[in-house]
Amino acid sequence: MRYRILGKTGLKVSVVGFGSTELGIDYGIKAPGEYGKPGKQAVKKMLHKALDNGINFFDTAPGYGESEKLLGDTIGLEPCYIATKINIDKRSDALSIKASIGKSLRRLKRECIDIVQIHNATGGIIRQPEILENLKNLRKQGLIRFFGASVYEPADGLAVLEKGFFDCLQIAFNIMDQRILDKVLPAAVKNDTGVISRSAYFRGMLTKKITYLDNDWSFLKNAAKKIKSTMNIDSWEDLTGLALRFCLSIKGVSTVLVGIRTMDELMFAIKEEKKCKLSDIALRKLLTLRVNDEYWLNPLNWYRKL
């Protein structure tokens, strides 16, 4: 497993990060036999297997059902990095923020959280001075090591970077959605802000699961087929592997979160990480295959249809 420095945090993180959404909630495309959270014993085996193979970065959130507790019960005391999140809105104050952090600490079985990210952060939230001051106070109390923000839109990512307060930024990035390459990634590199990329498989749209969707999804299905034909790929599995390797090949991205539901998915990601880096020719081709339709690039617009 390769490792990279997560920006100004100085943390040496595995290039493949463990996305734990599907450990705690039913999530994604409802493909036959490939949907639904795994059992607790299966989760424990996967988490230990991930550690054994060098994965040391795990991402979770209170909104992911039992995910935090599952991580805490299994690897809470292990030498690895866990990043969780906090939901902040206009009603949030110092007490509610500290209460949320306290609950996460208990579920994760830790005395200090490595990274706390504002979940679904927007420019409006980021610009609230009292929110940032509350987080600073929690760090002074030793409850938080580093701050991050998880965003959907590039404009919100730029707002995070312009604030200069955050140590890392989590944002979607994949073959179809390459918007961070325009301004966000260059700004992050310039500011030494660690970039955590998620949605490498675009919520299943770059896997065989997309074949189970009906014609309402023809736009994304055609985009996936175009990638396969351009890259001379026959199988959906090869497309999925290419999708991960593309994200791993982009300079400035510290770790690529992969949503894991089964042991096979975990081992697939580990296998793909070990392959040779994409050639410059392949990378240049993939950079031309981005989708430019803003509606389809934001899963908040269409995710409820799944």
3-state secondary structure of 258: strand
Asked if residue 59 has pLDDT above 80, the reply is: yes
Dihedral (Cα; 162, 166, 170, 174), 10-degree rounding: 40
Band the pLDDT of 306: cuts 50, 70, 90: confident
Per-residue pLDDT, averaged over 21-27, amounts to 95
- What pLDDT does residue 128 have? 86
CATH of domain 3-305: 3.20.20.100
Asked if residue 304 has pLDDT above 80, the reply is: no
Band the pLDDT of 16: cuts 50, 70, 90: very high
Band the pLDDT of 129: cuts 50, 70, 90: confident
pLDDT tens profile 33-51 = 889 999 999 999 999 999 9
Q: How far apart are CA 56 and CA 114, in angstroms?
A: 12
- What pLDDT does residue 127 have? 87
Give the residues across from 17 on adjacent strands. Answer: 257
Phi and psi, residue 65, nearest 5°: 60, -125
Per-residue pLDDT, averaged over 222-228, amounts to 97
Q: The tokens of 271 are what? A: 């296998």
pLDDT tens profile 161-209 = 998 899 999 999 999 999 999 999 999 999 999 999 999 999 999 999 9
Q: Is there a contact between 170 and 117 (Cβ–Cβ < 8 Å)?
A: yes
- Contacts within 8 Å (CB) and 24+ apart, 283-286: 283/246, 283/249, 285/230, 285/231, 286/175, 286/227, 286/231, 286/242, 286/246
- What pLDDT does residue 296 have? 95
> Is the full-model pTM beyond 0.95?
yes
- What pLDDT does residue 15 have? 98
> Any idea how long the chain is?
306
- What pLDDT does residue 90 have? 74
Q: How far apart are CA 137 and CA 102, in angstroms?
A: 14
> For helices 236-248 and 263-274, what crossing angle results, to 10°?
60
- What pLDDT does residue 65 have? 96
Domain ranges of the chain: 3-305
pLDDT tens profile 270-293 = 999 999 889 999 999 999 999 999
